[in-house]
Homo-oligomer: A and B are copies of this chain.
Amino acid sequence: MRDPLLQYPGYILRRASTAAMAEFASRIVVLGLRTSEATILQIVAENPGISQSALGRMLDIQRANMTPIAARLEARGLMRRLPSDGRSLGLELTDEGHLLAEKARAIIDTFETDLTNRIPAEHRAHLMPALLALWPSADA
């Protein structure tokens, strides 16, 4: 029972990412949040007034798929959608949204620390720059 793809970094990237995402999802669900929702709360907290479209571009979520996600967060009382000009909706968290975003941030911090600690020390510093090179959108 040999996996001939184990030598390929792209394959390992996919498998490691899937496993990590599943673990994170199981941790964040205790707040009633999905991974994408936890992410959105963080970004809107940091960028109040950001439009739905701009948020979608930041996260590679298409406009059409953004609509129900944002509507759901608004319906839960976590986020407001205020018309900024005639077509755009500016997003901002409610007080309750900020509170939940902070709780989510704590879970994220713990998760990321756990993840980092699993990496052998001599490789740790190399992971981020290597991954960033694989992520074209990270123009920074």
Chain A residues at the B interface, C-beta cutoff of 8 Å? 1-6, 8-21, 24, 35, 39, 42-43, 45-47, 50, 54, 58, 60, 108, 111-112, 115-116, 118-120, 122-124, 126-138, 140
Interface of A is mostly: helix
**23 A-B pairs with C-beta separation under 8 A:** A1-B47, A3-B43, A4-B42, A4-B45, A5-B108, A9-B119, A10-B112, A12-B131, A13-B127, A13-B131, A14-B17, A14-B21, A15-B135, A16-B17, A16-B131, A16-B132, A16-B134, A119-B133, A119-B134, A120-B129, A120-B130, A123-B129, A127-B131
Min Cβ gap A14→B in Å is: 6
- A135, closest chain B residue (CB): B16
Inter-chain contact A6/B108, CB cutoff 8 Å:
no
Contacts of A13 in B (CB 8 A): 13, 16-17, 20, 127, 131
In the assembled complex, the Cα of A137 lies from the Cα of B1 at a distance in Å of: 14
- A24, closest chain B residue (CB): B10
- A45, closest chain B residue (CB): B4
Inter-chain contact B132/A42, CB cutoff 8 Å:
no
